[in-house]
Structure formats: C-alpha cells, structure tokens
Chain A
Amino acid sequence: MAEKSIDIKGLTKKYGEHIAVNNLNLTIEKGEIFGLLGPNGAGKSTTILMILGLTEVDSGSVNVCGIDSSRYPLEVKRKVGYLPEDVGFYNDYTGLQNLMYVARLNDIPQEEAKKAALEILQEVGLEDVKDSKVASYSRGMRQRLGLADVLIKNPEVIILDEPTLGLDPEGVKKFLQLIVRLSRKKGITVLFSSHHLHQIQQVCDRVGIFVKGKMLAEGKISSLAQQLFSKNAFTLEGGISTLTEDVEPPLPLKEMVQKMKAIPEVANVELGDNGFVVESNKDVSADLSRLVVKSGYGLNFLRKKEYGLDDIYYQYFQEDKNR
C-alpha cells in the first residue's frame, strides 16, 4: 500500500492574477478511493487537468505512477482514465462504436478491444443498448458509458470529475456502487471530485477538502469529522409532544433536560419549541429516546444531524476568522 499512485508537490496554477490552485500537496496511494471535496470554482477541475498534463503547471510537480505528467503526458494518459465533467460522446455512433474508437486511440488490437468492450458494457449494465445510438441514451446511461470508456484502456488510476452531476438519487447510488465494486475488484486508484459530501462519504477511503485552491483538511472521513467537530461529533435533534391522555403526569421539561445532561458524554442540551437539540461525543440516541418516553412525553422524531459541506466550510471559515 505504500506505493504512491498520485504524488503532487507544491502545485500552483495562476490565471492572470487569480490563483486557481495554491501550493497543493497531495499523495494518493495505490488502490485508494480519494474524494476531492470542494465547492464550484475551488480549483478541483484545474488540479485534475494538471494531473493529466492537459494544462500547463506554473510551479510544483505532479507524478502519476512515478511519471512526471507535465513532461510525459502521453505516458500518464496511457495509465490514467479520465471522465470529464459533463462528458460528451459521438451521438451518431452506438455505445459500442464509441468504446471501440477510444480503444483504437489507445492502440488496443481490434479483437481484444471488442472482447473487452463487451465485457465492460456488461459490467456497467449497458449490454442491451450497446447497438443503439448514444443520442438515445439517458443521462445515467451516458455517465455509465463514460465509466466504461474510462475502463476500456485498463487504467491504473481513474479520475472522475463530478461524475454524479445531474443523476437522480437512485442513479447516483448505483453509479457509486459500481465505482467501488470495480475499484476493489481491479485494485484501481480512484480520484473522485464532487461537491456533495454525502456521496463522497459513501464511497471514499480518504477525503480532501479543497476550497479556493487550498487543501483545508485531508484524511479519513471519521478523523476528519473529529478534526472538524471535536467538541460535538454527534448532534441529535428530537421532537416531543405532551400526550393528552396521561397515565402519569409528565416530568417538567427542565427536569428532563437535567436528566439528559446527566447521560454520559452529552455535552450540551438546548430546548426549543416542541423539541430539543443534544450535542454529544457519542451516539446517545437510545438513551435519549428511553428517557423521553419514561418522562411521559411522546417522542415524535429523533434524528442525527448530518454535516454537509456547508457546515464544514462554515466551520473552517469561522476558524479562519478566529485566528
């Protein structure tokens, strides 16, 4: 696992005065699924273009599988599959023909390419439509064809730029599962850029948060959450109501809050209209629900608050200001 698939050192890219990528350092190990998380215009795509040698690097270096991609872009492109954001195909060609063309561009012998193409189409679930023109494909099918297109050259690394953009939730789920399955099966390194934390959470081993050309934080998701929300890793929201036909009179709210605070690991309790918010270091939902019911209230809902990208940015900007 020590082998580095992508090794970026001090990478900088400027567009005039605007700094798109600022002194980026990043290593991704072989077989890893790395999520690059950031808002639009953070420099994710620019970074990816530089990894592929598709745009000039202002300073720093990029090594992919040990090859300098600004000096030997062709060698890098042989090993890296890249699915661009909003990928396009030749609409008058069938899915299979599109794949075969890319295979020919990769100098794969015809027979071999055909076999591989059919296999991959089956894998991504497009075998039924392989002979219909791409013009008739749905968005999800195109995206899967894009994945097939990336896989046909048998890459060591695949780079997916916002692959889930414009897919419906079901499509996203399937697509992500497909990526994970293929990556694990073939030991492919995956670099996955997105602005959806949840999608990245689902599939990635490691995540880098990228804002305004800088890598803000990087690491495993769990450690990242701890890094970010060390005080209150869990936040639970609950809704309560008083039952009309009381068997026993409910505990006064204040007293219940006291009891909640007494639960180990609970850091803070706030009471709102018909509800409460509990912050804790541990998942205490079971204890909480028992307590609410015992106290004679009805528990309408209890849910874990999930942190989105917004919270993370917010958190970081807060810290920036405090410094």
Chain B
Amino acid sequence: MKNKVLRTGISKLNALTMSDWTSNLHSLVFRDEDAGASKGDFPWGPFKAMVQKEISDHFRNWRFIILFAIISMACMGTLFATLADGMKAIVVDSSGNSFFFLNLFTKSNGTLPPFFGFVGFLGPLFGISLGFDAISSEQQRGTLSRIMAQPVPRDSILNAKFLAGIIVISVMFFTLSFLVLGSGLIAIGIPPTAEEFMRIMVYTVLSIVYVSFWLNLAILFSVRFKQSATSALLGIAVWLFCTIFYPLLANMIIKAYEPSKFASPKAIYFYEKLKFYLGQIMPNELFDGITSAILVPSVRSLGPLSMEQLQGAIPSSLPLGQSIMLVWPQFTGLLALTLLCFLLSYMVFMKREIRSRG
C-alpha cells in the first residue's frame, strides 16, 4: 500500500519536475547573467536563447526521456528492494554509526546493485547520450552554418550546448537524490541529519561533475567527427574501455609486479602504490573513490596506508570536511579531465571552417 502511494507520488513528482524545474532553474542560472548584460559586451540574450533551446530539445528528446526513465526506475527498484527487507540491509553492519540515509545510497539487499552503483554505471551513458551529436547533428542538418551566420560568437554554440547539458544533468541528479531522500524519509521515518544531507548534496554535485566529464568527451567527439554514429560509438567504446578493459589490463600489469610473501616492506609499498595509481588514471576509478569517501564516512584513505599511519587512529567516522579533503585530489583530477576535453573541443571547433553540410 505504502509503495503504491509512493509510486504515484513519484510519478507526479516526475511530471512536475520536467516542466517546473527547468523554468525555475533558468531563473536561477541566468539571474547573474542578466545583470551582467548591461556591463559587458557579451550578447547574453542570444546565449540565453541558445541554452533554452538546447534544454527544451533535451527534455523533448525521446533519448533523454527513455534514459531518464531507465535510470530512475533502476534507482527506485534498488531503493524498494533495500527497504522491502525491513531495512535489514541498511541497519546491518553499520558499525556503531547511524548513517541510515547514507546506507540507502550505498547498501542493497544483494538482488540489485546499490543506488550509487547505478549512477556510476549509467551516468556516463547518460552524459554520452546528451552530447554525442551536439555539433555533428547541427552540421548534418545544415543548421550550423545558418546559426554561425547570426551575430553570436562562435564559442557560444559550444558553451550553450555544454551549459544546457550540465543543467539537464543537474536537474536529473538532484531529482533522483531527492526522490531517494524523500522515499527514504517516508519509509524510515527518521529525518536525515544535517551531515547526511550535506554528504548527499556533495555526492550529487560531484556526480554531476563526473557525468559532465562524459558529456564533454562526447561533445569533443561530436566536434571532431562528422558522423554522429562515429562519435556515439567512440564515446561508448571509451566508456567500455574504462569500465571493463582497463581494469583487466591494470590487473595484468599489477600481477607482474606482485611481490612475494617475504618481500621488503618497501617493495610491498611500491606495489600498493602502483596498484593505486594505475587505477587513478581512469575517470570512473576517480569517481568510485569520491563516492566511497563521501557516502561512507568511515573511509579514511583512498590510497594505501602504512601501519605507522594507522597507529593511534580512532575507529570512528570522519567529518564531512575531512571527507572532502580526502577526495579533493580525485575531484581535481576529474575536473581537469573535463576541462581538458572542453579545451580540446574548443580548439578544434574555433579553427574549423564551417560550410553547409560537409
């Protein structure tokens, strides 16, 4: 019964968010920019028009609707599976600490992967699907040269696509997080503590950064390749490489360096470091690190720790500030990768000669 009520509530919420949130977000996002219009020379009006068009295109697009439905259904499924077991999955092994709400995001009863697993897995796909035909489809439809003939700076089109993508992703992730929070609230009956709430918000923001990396990568491919199919396949190939093949490769390399039982601590330390750094190159590993540190407060380090470092540590959870400090390098790395992709697409696009369809 409760579930049914929840479900209808959720579907209503879904319908609401689609129309209202965008407009609300618009006013939120553009408030500062409108004020700046009088000061600077940059034509904000046209830029705003472009971003609005991109956002409404995304929301109307079947691709987005279907992916959103899949992701939200997967997340809801996990949530209900977790809650259905009488919250055993949540309460169990919460060693001394009572982060019920965080457990909603990280634990499951085993039938389905936890919420954060779904976000980490499907998020990249979502980012790629939003960006892979950003520029190439405009080129193929012959609209790019028409838009470029209007008095808008050339980079505006790229910035608008990127910003629109980020706004859409933000709307989606906040929706999902709040849905999980809300249904958790109804099911458990205990409101989340301020720290839990903040952790969830930080997690949401960081997952937006993660997905925007994939969005940017897809936009880069769409700038570089004229066929949308090429850029989509390449995006998915990179994603598969990162999630499946790279770990295999890394494992092979690590195996080769595996020290014997009686190796010196130095050799073992080197081995652990290697294992750590090989993982840290990939954006999905970076994001996994971020997720575990933010959502599991008891995580004290993402890399290897020596016995000396562990000595005297009190077995308790870290405050939020410390957790953020812990993931700061990972966060910076993700941001750097995102900016690198953006920079590359910028360079390719600004130098391009734009002809009609070709």
Contact = CB atoms under 8 A, between A and B. Distances in A.
B152 interface: yes
B141 A54 contact: no
A84 interface: yes
Interface in A73-127: 74-75, 77-78, 80-82, 84-92, 101-102, 104-107
Contacts of A106: 46, 150-151
Interface in A110-167: 146, 149, 153, 161
Contacts of B353: 49, 54-56
Contact of A82 (B45, B49, B142, B149): B149
Contacts, number: 79
Nearest to B49: A104
Contacts of B355: 45, 49, 84
A80 B148 CA distance: 12
B187 to A, nearest CB: 40
Nearest to A50: B353
Contacts of A91: 141
A101 B53 contact: yes
A8 interface: no
Nearest to A104: B49
A52 interface: yes
A55 B356 CA distance: 13
Contacts of A105: 46, 49-50, 147, 150-152
B357 interface: yes
Nearest to A161: B356
A166 to B, nearest CB: 13
Q: Sort chain B's interface into a size bin.
A: 20 to 34
A75 B153 CA distance: 11
B29 to A, nearest CB: 17
A129 to B, nearest CB: 19
Contacts of A107: 43, 45-46, 151
B149 A88 contact: no
B65 interface: no
B63 interface: no
A102 B356 contact: no
B45 A104 contact: yes
Contacts of B357: 86, 88
B243 interface: no
Contacts of B141: 88-91
A9 B328 CA distance: 56
B109 to A, nearest CB: 43
A77 B146 contact: no
Contacts of B151: 74-75, 77-78, 105-107
A87 B142 contact: yes
A52 B143 contact: no
Given A54-B354, A88-B356, A90-B141, 5 more contacts: A49-B353, A77-B151, A91-B141, A105-B50, A106-B46
Interface of B: 43, 45-46, 49-50, 53, 57, 60, 141-143, 145-153, 353-357
27 contacts: A45-B355, A49-B353, A49-B355, A52-B149, A54-B145, A55-B353, A74-B152, A77-B150, A82-B145, A82-B149, A84-B142, A84-B146, A86-B357, A87-B142, A87-B145, A87-B356, A88-B141, A88-B146, A89-B141, A89-B146, A91-B141, A92-B60, A101-B49, A102-B150, A107-B43, A107-B45, A107-B46
The 7 closest A-B pairs by CB, nearest first: A88-B142, A104-B49, A82-B149, A84-B356, A88-B141, A105-B150, A77-B151
